[in-house]
Amino acid sequence: MRLRALTAGAVTAVLALSMAACGSSDSGSANPSVDAGAQFEAGTTMAKLKTAGKIKIGTKFDQPLFGLKGLDGKPAGFDVEVAKLVAAKLGLSADKIEWVESQSKFREEYIEQGKVDLVVATYTINDKRKERVSFAGPYYQAGQDLMVKKDSTVDGPEALKAANAKVCSVTGSTPAEKIKEYVDPSNIVLFDVYSKCADALRTGQVQAVTTDNVILLGLIDASKGEFKLVGKPFTTEPYGIGIKKGDTKFCQFIDDTLKAADSNGDYAKAWKDTAGKVAPEAPKLPELSACS
């Protein structure tokens, strides 16, 4: 069962179960085993990173389940675990990672400028972005959905206009573009991060938040019953790992890492330790796209 196939009722049941069973805020995980003897062809990004002995990774800092900065200053979540798997294959342990908050609108820029070596940040692969960066993966497939207050009657994007609902999303994200098909521009509210959208929903400044279902699930989990998922995904969002445009060897290396993690159970474990606390069914690694 894929998350995007879950009904609203099923998601609610899953949420209730997970909150009762294991508490919902702890999304930490044991670090994957580091490939200390890793060898790479001279001149490749892999060789450079291994020699440098450190790596800068862009992720989100305010998205529970995928990338949420904890009190210890370190982010936790599924994206963070996937990134650690890549670092480990480079021979770099988690303490050699410098985490760089990469809000949606800055991801391409940070990769182009070398502010980060890669981005794992609920980052949808699409043609527009591929003009500026390359993607390894996809390593997960989400779908755009809506989050509303528990008592809301909004049951899908088509209902937003009639309800004259203000809808919140994030600048530079795919959902911010897509929602224009359903809502007048004057009713779209954009912030830099989704946690601010959740605050705006709480205070009644907006009546809905739109982004990927799994991001919303994390915010719903944190809302302690105040919000619900509408549960009707209306796009597909394949998550890729963003790297410098045209770095095919690095893309291939990351894809090989994902495949190995899938077969040795590390991918399933990364899910189980993080997003799996709210959505227990582990996803299947999607078919990887050709590196270009």
Shortest gap between Cβ of 128 and ligand GLU (angstroms)? 10
Q: Closest CB to ligand GLU belongs to which residue? A: 173
Closer residue to ligand GLU, CB minimum distance, 91 or 157: 157
Q: Give the CA distances from residue 267 to residues 70, 83, 140, 276, in Å, rounded to whole numbers and listed in that order.
A: 22, 11, 10, 11
Contact call for residue 210 and ligand GLU (CB under 6 A): no
Q: Which of 79, 108, 145, 237 binds ligand GLU (CB under 6 A)?
A: 237
Closer residue to ligand GLU, CB minimum distance, 90 or 123: 123
Closer residue to ligand GLU, CB minimum distance, 90 or 206: 206
Q: How far apart are the first and last CA of the chain?
A: 31
Contact call for residue 211 and ligand GLU (CB under 6 A): yes
Using alpha carbons only, how large is the chain's radius of gyration in Å?
19
Number of Cβ within a 10 Å radius of residue 95? 9
Hey, which residues between 49 and 108 contact ligand GLU (CB under 6 A)? 104
Shortest gap between Cβ of 171 and ligand GLU (angstroms)? 9
Among the residue ranges 87-95, 109-117, 172-180, 283-291, the one whose residues contact ligand GLU (CB under 6 A): 172-180
Shortest gap between Cβ of 126 and ligand GLU (angstroms)? 8
Q: Which of 11, 76, 92, 170 binds ligand GLU (CB under 6 A)?
A: 170
Q: Is 162 exposed, middle or buried (CB count within 10 Å of its CB: 0-12, 13-18, 19+)?
A: exposed
Query: With contacts defined by CB under 6 A, how many residues of the chain interact with ligand GLU?
Result: 13
Asked if 98 and 55 touch (Cβ cutoff 8 Å), the reply is: yes
Contact call for residue 174 and ligand GLU (CB under 6 A): yes
Asked if 64 and 275 touch (Cβ cutoff 8 Å), the reply is: no
Q: What is the dihedral of CA 265, 68, 88, 255, to 10 degrees?
A: 60
Closer residue to ligand GLU, CB minimum distance, 49 or 241: 241
Residue with tokens 């209902």: 159
Contact call for residue 141 and ligand GLU (CB under 6 A): no
Asked if 108 and 98 touch (Cβ cutoff 8 Å), the reply is: no
Number of Cβ within a 10 Å radius of residue 12? 17
Residues that bind ligand GLU (CB under 6 A): 104, 121-124, 170, 173-175, 211-212, 215, 237
